[in-house]
Amino acid sequence: MKIAILSKNPKLYSTSRLVEAAKEKNHDVVVINPLKCVIELEKKNPRIFYNGYYVEDIDAIIPRIGASDTYYGTAVVRQFEMMKAFSVIESQALIRSRDKLRSLQILAKAGVGLPKTVFTNFTKDVEHVVDSVGGAPLILKLLEGTQGLGVVLAETKNAATSVIEAFNGLKARVIAQQFIQESDGTDIRVFVVDGSIVGAMKRQGKKGEFRSNLHRGGTASIIKLSDQEELTALKAAKAIGLGVAGVDIIQSDSGPMVLEVNSSPGLEGIEKATEKDIAKEIIKYIERNV
C-alpha cells in the first residue's frame, strides 16, 4: 500500500512517527507538503502535480494540516479524495473541526456537554455577554486561535468588558465561555481512532497558568477515563465526523465538558504519557479501510 502523509515538515515528531509506523508494516510512504501541491482539474481527471511530477497510485493519506493552512490544505485533501485515496481525516470533517463556532454548534446539537458559550457579531451589549456565561471569571477566545494562543482569562467583569470591546474594535471575532473553576488548570486529551479510544492523558498547566497546553509548559500523565468521559469523547469525535481526533475534555461538577475536537492532534505528548504506539493504530485504521 502507498500512503502519503500531508505535512510541511517531515522532521516533526508526529510525521516521523507515522512514517516509521507505516514502514514497520511494509507500506510505501511519502511525505508531501500540501502547500506545494498544484491542483489540476478537468472532467473526470483530477490530478496533483508536486515537485516536478504527477502524484499517482496513492492508496491513503494522513492529513497533518496546520490551522493557518486549513483553506489550501483542505483543498488538497479534497483533491486526493477525488482521486479515490482514503483519508483518515475527511475534508469536510477537517473544515468542521477548524471552525470553532460551527463545531460547538454541532456538539451542542449532538447533546455533548459543553461550557456555556456566547458568540456575537460585535454587539455593544457586552455586559449581557458576560452575564450570560455566568459572569467573571470567564474565558475569551479568538475564533482563529490555536495551541492556547488567543485565549484570555478575564478575572473581573470590568476586565471582560474591556477585552471584548477591544476585540470588537479590532473586528476580531471572539467567543465568551464559562470558566470551570473546579478544573483547576487541567484537562484531558482523549485520542480517538476509528471510533475507539486508543489513549488518554491528563494535562496540567504550569503554576499560575489556566491553559494546560503542553506547548505552553504543561505536563502530561496517564489517566483512566470514567465511563462518562469515554462516552463524551466518542460522541464528540463522531459528531464532527473525524476518524482520528484529539478530544479535549475538562472535568466539572456537572460532568465532563468538551473544549475542542482537534483534527490534527500531536502524537508526542500522548505517546510519551501513555507509552502506547498511537501511530501504529492510525496505520491499522488505514489497513482496515483500504
Structural domains present in the chain: 2-96 (3.40.50.20), 117-179 (3.30.1490.20), 183-289 (3.30.470.20)
pTM of the entire structure? 0.89
Contact indicator for 118, 132 with CB cutoff of 8 Å: yes
Q: Is the peptide bond before 34 cis (omega within 30 degrees of 0)?
A: no
Contact indicator for 125, 134 with CB cutoff of 8 Å: no
**Residue listed under C-alpha cell 511525505:** 31
Question: What is 213-265 written as a DSSP string?
Answer: -GGGT-EEEE-PPPHHHHHHHHHHHHHHT-SEEEEEEEEETTEEEEEEEESS-
Residue 118 gets which letter from DSSP? E
Whole-number Cα distances in Å, 84 to 43, 44, 79, 290:
15, 12, 9, 10
Tens of pLDDT, residue by residue, the chain (290 residues): 999 999 999 999 999 999 999 999 999 999 999 999 999 999 999 999 999 999 999 999 999 999 889 999 999 999 999 999 999 999 999 999 999 889 999 999 999 999 999 998 888 888 999 999 999 899 998 876 555 567 888 999 999 999 888 888 888 888 899 999 877 778 999 999 999 999 999 988 666 555 555 555 577 889 999 999 999 999 999 999 999 999 999 999 999 999 999 999 999 999 999 999 999 999 999 999 99
Beta bridge partners of 193: 196, 244
In one-letter notation, the amino acid at residue 180 is I
